[in-house]
């Protein structure tokens, strides 16, 4: 039984084509599972092979205590590993054995390829077609250590340049710099794969898709697996992309796929960074010298915020610039911002996180909705409710500082918004009359189409269900191009409703992760070309003339 703040999920059966994994509490339930599986296998035209059926104790201590299994089934030993879906599985996973087995299999497969290929370019194509898919499949299930990645990268390099798939030192040297060799062929490289980049892109895509399209059960599983701190009830994970200028990224490769992805998605997904954001925040912060500070008045645990000093032409220009760059700001998403990963500018231009700036009220694993609630008033203000157990003077000061920080970074709060669960969508039809729809707190779809009564609530499990419900609502004559992920169904914080692809493709993640490496490779290649041109001026001049006239002469 898996528990998170999103609910409770009972893990029962995992099906993969003709392979099925069932989870039972007692050995007596195995007989029931076998009877059910035989019926479904017969309906599918398959036969259950009991001799190949594995019984694995999830608790290795109990592996030797299991009795009364029907023949020929028997419990696999706690240290024994068997192949399931191409991955060695057992009571005690062995990471080193899994990757050593992959190394042995690839060495055998590439022995023939080394005989059939004669150039480094051909072998780099073999690596991309054979080695990388194999390692990515294993990495999805058994995340490699740093030493494992380095060892396989040396094997790839040795195979490309010396036709030997080994991590040992090989005599001879590559005739291209590593950064240049990794460049695309269109840029003069060999496109030699970088395994670390491939794995990070895999992690980013895997969890990015989960954050947008996962149903309730998958969200609970992700919360349990992805949380670094083990709790009886796991915290809900919300991935919050950064909107500040690039700082020192720090370590991107972590010990698990989930930790790696959350760091990468926070940096490289979402609406992106707006040039001049820091300057706009600083300018808005300096307005207090002319118009005064935002007024804060406490009444019990409620804080009255007078935002009139912030309002004006500068604030309007700030908001309109972000609308032009990113689209409409969605206030529905702001309460779901993760306090540990969101990056905000201070009035002096410094980048901070709420968990570091306001440790008294913000802790890792919390979203903004866990600290404060707010609503707009008719006189251009906010009523903020503190959710702390005890609202002391230090807590009041920290919440006041958090509100000022949010207003500097999200001046859209000065304009009245709502938390009604409204759905944002886009269509190709310019004449389409927008339909007002909502997603309730218990994940039901409500329609209040103009000129018609509200429809019956439709239960929703995922973002895909929302897309289907919206398309049904607008009718077959109108095609919906995009539905903004909803905070009650998705886990990727989408603060701006621009017309963009929310699911970032793997090639985009790879391109962003390799920006610095490609820039370095391009610079090295240009430098060496310049040296060659200086040393062989006649050959360089002839090469330039050939490139300029080759196609003219060919077509002539």
pLDDT for res 159: 93
Residues 246 and 290 grouped into a single domain: yes
Per residue in 298-353, pLDDT tens? 999 999 999 988 888 999 999 999 998 888 899 999 999 999 989 999 999 899 99
Q: What angle do CA 249, 133, 83 make, to 5 degrees?
A: 115
pLDDT higher than 80, residue 245: no
Q: What angle do CA 52, 58, 63 make, to 5 degrees?
A: 75
501 inside domain: no
208 inside domain: yes
241 inside domain: yes
Instruction: Tell me the residue range of the domain where 108 lies.
Output: 95-193
- Alpha-helix runs per DSSP H in 236-353: 257-268, 277-286, 288-291, 313-326
E strand spans, 133-266: none
C-alpha–C-alpha distance, residues 103 and 545, integer Å: 48
**367: helix, coil or strand?**
strand
DSSP 383: E
What is the maximum alpha-carbon separation in the chain? 87
Residues 330 and 210 grouped into a single domain: yes
pLDDT for res 550: 45
CA distances 534 to 33, 168, 189, 203, 307, Å, are 76, 38, 22, 45, 64
Residues 310 and 385 grouped into a single domain: yes
46 inside domain: yes
Residues 262 and 167 grouped into a single domain: no
Please report which confidence band the pLDDT of residue 554 belongs to, taking 50, 70 and 90 as the band edges: very low
C-alpha–C-alpha distance, residues 437 and 473, integer Å: 9
Q: Once rounded to an integer, what is the mean pLDDT over residues 220-241?
A: 87
Residues 169 and 263 grouped into a single domain: no
Residues 259 and 388 grouped into a single domain: yes
Task: Report the DSSP pairing between strands 87-89 and 295-299.
Answer: unpaired
Per residue in 380-393, pLDDT tens? 889 999 999 999 99
Residues 219 and 343 grouped into a single domain: yes
Residues 300 and 377 grouped into a single domain: yes
pLDDT higher than 80, residue 44: no
The total domain count for the chain is: 5
pLDDT higher than 90, residue 375: yes
C-alpha–C-alpha distance, residues 90 and 533, integer Å: 60
Residues 324 and 388 grouped into a single domain: yes
339 inside domain: yes
Closest CA to 514 of 250, 262, 201: 201
CB atoms within 10 A of CB 538: 7
- Alpha-helix runs per DSSP H in 410-456: none
Picking from 17-26, 243-252, 271-280, which range would have the lowest pLDDT averaged per residue?
A: 243-252
The conformational region for residue 119 under phi > 0 = left, psi -120 to 50 = alpha, else beta, is: beta
Residues 317 and 184 grouped into a single domain: no
CA distances 546 to 536, 543, 551, Å, are 15, 5, 9
Q: Which residue, 137, 161, 193, sits at the end of a domain?
A: 193
281 preceded by a cis bond (ω within 30 of 0): no
pLDDT for res 548: 56
Per residue in 75-107, pLDDT tens? 888 788 888 877 888 887 778 888 999 999 999
pLDDT for res 304: 94
Residues 135 and 179 grouped into a single domain: yes
Residues 271 and 393 grouped into a single domain: yes
């Amino acid at each position: 039984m898996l528990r998170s703040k999103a609910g409770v999920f009972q893990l029962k059966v995992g099906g993969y084509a003709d392979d099925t994994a069932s989870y039972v509490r007692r050995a007596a339930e195995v007989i029931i599972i076998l009877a059910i599986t035989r019926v479904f296998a017969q309906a599918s035209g398959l036969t259950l092979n009991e001799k190949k059926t594995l019984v694995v104790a999830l608790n290795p201590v109990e592996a030797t205590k299991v009795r009364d299994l029907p023949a020929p089934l028997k419990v696999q030993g706690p240290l024994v590993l068997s192949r399931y879906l191409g991955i060695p599985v057992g009571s005690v996973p062995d990471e080193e054995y899994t990757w050593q087995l992959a190394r042995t299999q690839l060495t055998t497969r590439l022995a023939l390829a080394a005989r059939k290929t004669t150039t480094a370019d051909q072998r780099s194509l073999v690596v991309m077609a054979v080695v990388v898919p194999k390692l990515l499949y294993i990495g999805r299930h058994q995340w490699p250590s740093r030493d494992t990645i380095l060892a396989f990268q040396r094997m790839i390099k040795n195979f490309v340049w010396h036709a030997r798939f080994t991590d040992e030192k090989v005599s001879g040297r590559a005739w291209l710099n590593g950064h240049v060799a990794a460049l695309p062929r269109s840029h003069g490289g060999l496109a030699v794969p970088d395994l670390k980049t491939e794995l990070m892109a895999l992690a980013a895509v895997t969890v990015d898709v989960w954050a947008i399209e996962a149903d309730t059960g998958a969200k609970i599983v992700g919360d349990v697996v992805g949380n670094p701190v083990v709790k009886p009830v796991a915290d809900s994970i919300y991935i919050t992309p950064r909107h500040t200028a690039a700082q020192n990224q720090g370590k991107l490769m972590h010990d698990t796929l989930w930790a790696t992805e959350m760091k990468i998605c926070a940096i490289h997904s979402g609406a992106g960074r707006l040039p001049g954001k820091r300057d706009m925040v600083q300018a808005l912060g300096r307005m207090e010298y002319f118009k005064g500070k935002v007024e804060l008045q406490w009444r019990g645990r409620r804080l009255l915020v007078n935002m009139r000093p912030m309002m004006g032409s500068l604030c309007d220009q700030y908001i309109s610039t972000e609308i032009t760059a990113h689209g409409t700001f969605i206030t529905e998403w702001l309460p779901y911002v993760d306090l540990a990963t969101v990056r905000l500018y201070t009035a002096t231009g410094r980048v901070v996180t709420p968990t570091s700036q306001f440790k008294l009220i913000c802790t890792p694993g919390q979203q903004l909705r866990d600290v404060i609630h707010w609503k707009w008033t008719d006189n251009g203000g906010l009523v903020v409710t503190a959710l702390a157990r005890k609202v002391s003077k230090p807590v009041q000061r920290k919440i006041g500082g958090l509100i000022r920080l949010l207003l500097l970074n999200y001046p859209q709060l000065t304009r009245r918004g709502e938390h009604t669960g409204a759905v944002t969508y886009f269509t190709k039809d310019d004449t389409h009359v927008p339909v007002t729809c909502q997603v309730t707190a218990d994940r039901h779809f409500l329609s209040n189409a103009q000129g018609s009564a509200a429809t019956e609530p439709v239960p929703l499990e995922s973002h895909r269900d929302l897309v289907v419900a919206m398309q049904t609502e607008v009718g077959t004559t109108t095609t919906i191009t995009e539905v903004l992920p909803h905070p009650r169904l998705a886990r990727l914080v989408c603060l701006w409703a621009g017309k963009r692809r929310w699911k970032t493709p793997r090639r985009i993640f790879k391109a962003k992760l390799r920006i610095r490496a490609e820039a370095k490779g391009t610079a090295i290649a240009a430098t060496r070309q310049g040296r060659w041109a200086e040393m062989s001026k006649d050959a360089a001049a002839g090469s330039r003339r050939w490139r300029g006239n080759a196609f003219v002469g060919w077509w002539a």
